[in-house]
Amino acid sequence: MSAGAQRPIEGEAQALAERLVATLRDRDGFSAWMGLELVALSPASCTVRTTVRREMLNGFGVCHGGITYSIADSALAFASNTHGRVTLSVENGISYVAPVVLGDVLTATAEEESAGGRIAFYRVVVRKQDDSMVAIFRGTVYRTQRELLSGNTRHE
Amino acid sequence: MSAGAQRPIEGEAQALAERLVATLRDRDGFSAWMGLELVALSPASCTVRTTVRREMLNGFGVCHGGITYSIADSALAFASNTHGRVTLSVENGISYVAPVVLGDVLTATAEEESAGGRIAFYRVVVRKQDDSMVAIFRGTVYRTQRELLSGNTRHE
Amino acid sequence: MSAGAQRPIEGEAQALAERLVATLRDRDGFSAWMGLELVALSPASCTVRTTVRREMLNGFGVCHGGITYSIADSALAFASNTHGRVTLSVENGISYVAPVVLGDVLTATAEEESAGGRIAFYRVVVRKQDDSMVAIFRGTVYRTQRELLSGNTRHE
Amino acid sequence: MSAGAQRPIEGEAQALAERLVATLRDRDGFSAWMGLELVALSPASCTVRTTVRREMLNGFGVCHGGITYSIADSALAFASNTHGRVTLSVENGISYVAPVVLGDVLTATAEEESAGGRIAFYRVVVRKQDDSMVAIFRGTVYRTQRELLSGNTRHE
């Protein structure tokens, strides 16, 4: 069997994931403002990266907690929408492990921990350039019946 | 006793809260980017407001969950730093109750629910222009020994 | 119109809530072990109460955090199942505000903060006999299509 | 160098962890009621196990969510108190991944994810006998200045 014929289903799932996330990223103004690069993507998993700029700082001169959260939340949105149905955050939480300063390069990796028919749980870890952890994020998402690409809605 | 002489301690606490939050807001680049206005402030409580702009939207064309979170997190930072010592988020959570769209005016009100010597718990409710709730946020903060204004550090 | 004829829909909702929670409580071995009394019940709201016994203490000689959580979780289960469809916890959180000791009487009040078609958010506050708050609990629940009383299942 | 002489510091830390947790378990009435066995223990990590009994069920005839939480919370308490200073839960959360039924054997493993001077973050995973995950628990703890064994208090 040739390499090209191997695992067609996984290949299709990967191609779908890439198409869906490309569509989401095209429209995502806030992720664009944050300068999020897509580092890695596969079904139910995503890694994004950005560099902390001056307008991302808070009143203490360190990275605003909302920025760290938002990077993780974008990674979650991309990872959890790789299956084709519109998937939305229900409830998220974040633990702040270490401060982040101007110029730090933050990388957020979202991974599915468990998924049922409608509800799935994700874990997102945010690290900086020395690979040390700066935040731990949990996402609980709800998978709707709406198709992300076609806009069609199955009977819910 | 004249009215003007009443409750000097509360007056001082209010003046301190205003001075501290003015200092924080002056330096807070991300809150400035979000266009946060200060609507109300008192010791351990704060209300901020902003309008959702195009660059705050996500890949679904609605307000990025990180923006809603960040508005609440700024309200928390201002409310929890009204006492004078540098206070930092340890762990926050947010429940997304209703979608937010372009042009919505979001108001976040942070209130202290309970405070011990080092740890305090806050609740932040985010509402839109029709006063309906769009998100419920919980903040757990840690009060350090550092003075916010002087930069002096007591022995910790 | 006579007083007895007023608000028949609310009267039916109340009667249904009482029937559903009576059924749940009859079968709930752990709530029985905890000695939970039903103090108040209405659609989407419930208050329960119990007294901390020796076998509820932890290794520090204070009430085990799991007991405080469980009282709140039972209040949540009763409140969120007053509508007739089987409703389950997806994700809960608890903030420990003050210690609880042997003999304390704990009262937990669960109230719906927001409800959509499938997901609802509850807040449960746990207080002790002097009415001071000892814990704040958040519950995120998922409403299934299964009827609680008949056991019939609608097409999901 | 003989094996017995190797790594005396780790050996002492392990011995301290065992002594501390033995003390806690001796006094912990609720963990005893739950039938918690200690499966593994090392500094900042602990695994406990028990079997779901009839009095642990809820009104739906499945394991009460408070039991699953409590097993995880005990694992957290043991793991986070291996260092010698009294350590208390500030804020915990749990995601319910799969139902648990009568007779299931639950194993909870608590591991420190990150620790600062006063605040540490733990992750506890609860699995059943087939090793599938039934719940994911997060614990945020506060390390006091009180010694667990002597009862002495350093100046805080």
- To the nearest whole angstrom, how far is the Cα of D140 from the nearest Cα of chain B? 8
Residue D84 is given by DSSP the state: S
Chains interfacing with B (3 or more CB pairs < 8 Å): A, C, D
Q: Give the side-chain half-sphere CA count within 13 A for C132.
A: 10
Q: Give the pLDDT confidence score for residue A153 in this predicted structure.
A: 44
Q: Give the pLDDT confidence score for residue D8 in this predicted structure.
A: 73
Domains (range + CATH), chain C: 3-147 (3.10.129.10)
Q: What is the spatial distance between Cα C3 and Cα A74, in angstroms, rounded to a whole number?
A: 55
Complete DSSP assignment for C47-109:
EEEEE--GGGB-TTSSB-HHHHHHHHHHHHHHHHTTTSEEEEEEEEEEEE-S---TT-EEEEE
Chains interfacing with A (3 or more CB pairs < 8 Å): B, C, D
Asked if B118 reaches chain C (Cβ–Cβ under 8 Å), the answer is no
User: Which residue bears the tokens 């079904």?
Assistant: A43
The answer to whether residue B5 scores a pLDDT higher than 90 is no
- In the three-class reduction of DSSP (H, G, I as helix; E, B as strand; rest coil), residue B4 is classed as helix
Which tens digits make up the pLDDT trace of A67-108? 999 999 999 999 999 999 999 999 999 999 999 999 999 999
Share of chain D above pLDDT 70, in %: 92
Q: Is the dihedral of CA A67, A72, A75, A80 positive or negative?
A: negative
Q: Give the side-chain half-sphere CA count within 13 A for B111.
A: 5
The answer to whether B48 and B36 have CB atoms below 8 angstroms apart is yes
Confidence of residue A6 (pLDDT cuts 50, 70, 90): low
Which tens digits make up the pLDDT trace of B7-60? 678 899 999 999 999 999 999 999 999 999 999 999 999 999 999 999 999 999
Contact check, Cβ <8 Å, B28/A55: no
Lookup: tokens for A26: 């095209």
Chains interfacing with D (3 or more CB pairs < 8 Å): A, B, C
Q: Give the pLDDT confidence score for residue C7 in this predicted structure.
A: 66
* Nearest Cβ partner for D121 among A97, A113, A121: A97
Share of chain C above pLDDT 90, in %: 87
The complex's ipTM works out to: 0.92
Contact check, Cβ <8 Å, B93/C138: yes
Q: Give the pLDDT confidence score for residue C142 in this predicted structure.
A: 97
* Nearest Cβ partner for B140 among C95, C114, C133: C95
Instruction: Round the CA-based radius of gyration of chain D to a whole number and report it.
Output: 16
Which tens digits make up the pLDDT trace of D127-142? 999 999 999 999 999 9
The answer to whether A78 and A87 have CB atoms below 8 angstroms apart is no
Q: Give the pLDDT confidence score for residue D6 in this predicted structure.
A: 57
Q: Give the pLDDT confidence score for residue D123 in this predicted structure.
A: 98
Q: Give the pLDDT confidence score for residue A7 in this predicted structure.
A: 66
The answer to whether residue B156 scores a pLDDT higher than 50 is no
Confidence of residue B142 (pLDDT cuts 50, 70, 90): very high
Would you mind telling me the total number of residues written for chain C in this entry? 156
Contact check, Cβ <8 Å, D70/C70: yes
A89 chain-B contacts, CB cut-off 8 A: 65, 96
What is the CB neighbour count within 10 angstroms for residue B155? Answer: 5
Closest-CA residue to D118 (of D68, D66, D154): D154
- To the nearest whole angstrom, how far is the Cα of C116 from the nearest Cα of chain A? 11
Contact check, Cβ <8 Å, A28/B57: yes
What is the CB neighbour count within 10 angstroms for residue B46? Answer: 27
Contact check, Cβ <8 Å, A121/D138: no
Average pLDDT over chain C, rounded to an integer: 92
Candidate from A9-13, B58-62, B100-104 with smallest mean pLDDT: A9-13
Share of chain A above pLDDT 90, in %: 87
Name beta bridge partners: B135. Answer: B96, B126
Residue B155: closest CA among chain D residues belongs to which residue? Answer: D156
Average pLDDT over chain A, rounded to an integer: 92
Q: Give the pLDDT confidence score for residue A30 in this predicted structure.
A: 98
Q: What is the spatial distance between Cα D80 and Cα B139, in angstroms, rounded to a whole number?
A: 22
The answer to whether residue C155 scores a pLDDT higher than 70 is no
Contact check, Cβ <8 Å, C64/D88: no
Burial of A50: CB neighbours in 10 Å, binned 0-12, 13-18, 19+: buried
Average pLDDT over chain B, rounded to an integer: 92
Q: Give the pLDDT confidence score for residue C149 in this predicted structure.
A: 85
D120 chain-B contacts, CB cut-off 8 A: none
The answer to whether C42 and C107 have CB atoms below 8 angstroms apart is no
Asked if A142 reaches chain C (Cβ–Cβ under 8 Å), the answer is yes
Residue B134: closest CA among chain C residues belongs to which residue? Answer: C114
Confidence of residue C152 (pLDDT cuts 50, 70, 90): very low
The answer to whether C64 and C102 have CB atoms below 8 angstroms apart is no
Q: Give the pLDDT confidence score for residue B25 in this predicted structure.
A: 97
The answer to whether residue D101 scores a pLDDT higher than 70 is yes
The answer to whether residue B77 scores a pLDDT higher than 60 is yes
Q: What is the spatial distance between Cα D153 and Cα D156, in angstroms, rounded to a whole number?
A: 8
Lookup: tokens for D6: 């190797």
Q: What is the spatial distance between Cα C92 and Cα C127, in angstroms, rounded to a whole number?
A: 18
Q: What is the dihedral of CA A51, A55, A60, A64, to 10 degrees?
A: -60
The answer to whether residue B153 scores a pLDDT higher than 90 is no
Lookup: tokens for B144: 């350090």
A113 chain-D contacts, CB cut-off 8 A: 95, 97, 133, 136
The answer to whether residue B154 scores a pLDDT higher than 70 is no
Residue D104 is given by DSSP the state: -
Which tens digits make up the pLDDT trace of D14-52? 999 999 999 999 999 999 999 999 999 999 999 999 999
Confidence of residue D150 (pLDDT cuts 50, 70, 90): confident
Confidence of residue A24 (pLDDT cuts 50, 70, 90): very high
Residue A81 is given by DSSP the state: T
Which tens digits make up the pLDDT trace of D70-83? 999 999 999 999 99
Asked if C151 reaches chain D (Cβ–Cβ under 8 Å), the answer is no
Average pLDDT over chain D, rounded to an integer: 92
Which tens digits make up the pLDDT trace of C1-46? 444 455 678 899 999 999 999 999 999 999 999 999 999 999 999 9
